[in-house]
Amino acid sequence: MPEPLIAVGECEPAVICPLEIFKSTHLFPSLCFGTTNRDGSEKHYICCFPQHANPELPLPKTPLVFSLYGQIAIEDCFLTVRGCLRPMDEEPVASCWLEARPNIAADILWRGIIPSIEAIVDKYGGVVDPSHLVALGPDGNVRLQVVWQGNIGESGWRLPMFDEFGTQRVPASISEVPFGEAMHATFSLEFVHDRRAGTRTVFASLYGMFKA
């Protein structure tokens, strides 16, 4: 019997953990991966926490949602209602790169991102392309990309961006994106195994972007 698919919005509350310290938390040794999609040649997995002592058993798993504080980078930002321009019969997609806030405390915290991601990827196994998740910005510092993908026919106005009061505020254009402001992002890390192409990639699937 195949393992039940994980649907984050329809399961028990997720476990939330700051990405930069995840490797050193008590959750890391129990890290496992749950299947979210197995259509066609691709299988999608997200980081989970087992609800059973044996994480290898095909029993319910609780999704792990990661959090990260930073600011939206100006370069390659498509975090608007229009998002990344795509045909009308495809899912709406919006994305941006996050970078550390310009202070010493943020710089120290962000140093933990790469070690945590490397540890998670090692636990997933195999050769994984991380270029859709992390990269170096023009200043040589680490950046992390978050991606929101809606359903076919869904409006870009469903993009989960919120102000400091929890009110949804979707930028209508790039001029409305809150560049230079402190933001709090929550996301899952999703691994995609394309069995036909023989590739494995990882990206951050955005659940919410909040003004901090």
What pLDDT is stored for residue 1 in this prediction? 47
- Cα 187 from Cα 176, distance rounded (Å): 22
Q: What is the chain's mean pLDDT, rounded? A: 89
User: What residue spans define the domains of the chain?
Assistant: 66-211
Has residue 200 got a pLDDT over 70? yes
Averaged pLDDT for residues 124-151 = 94
Domain covering 66-211, topology: OB fold (Dihydrolipoamide Acetyltransferase, E2P) (2.40.50)
Assess whether pLDDT exceeds 90 at residue 4. Answer: no
For residues 129 and 199, the answer to whether their CB atoms sit within 8 Å is: yes
Find tokens 């961006």 and name the residue: 161
DSSP 3-68: PPPP-GGGSSPPEEEEGGGGGGSTTGGG-EEEEEE--TTEEEEEEEEESSS-TTSSS-EEEEEEEE
Q: What is the mean pLDDT of residues 151-175?
A: 91
Q: What percent of the chain has pLDDT over 90?
A: 67
Q: Which residue has the higher pLDDT, 91 or 147?
A: 147
- Tens-place pLDDT, residues 37-77: 877 788 999 999 887 655 555 566 889 999 999 999 999 99
Model confidence at 174, pLDDT cuts 50, 70, 90, reads very high
pLDDT band at 86; cut points 50, 70, 90: low
Rounded to an integer, the average pLDDT of 181-208 is 95
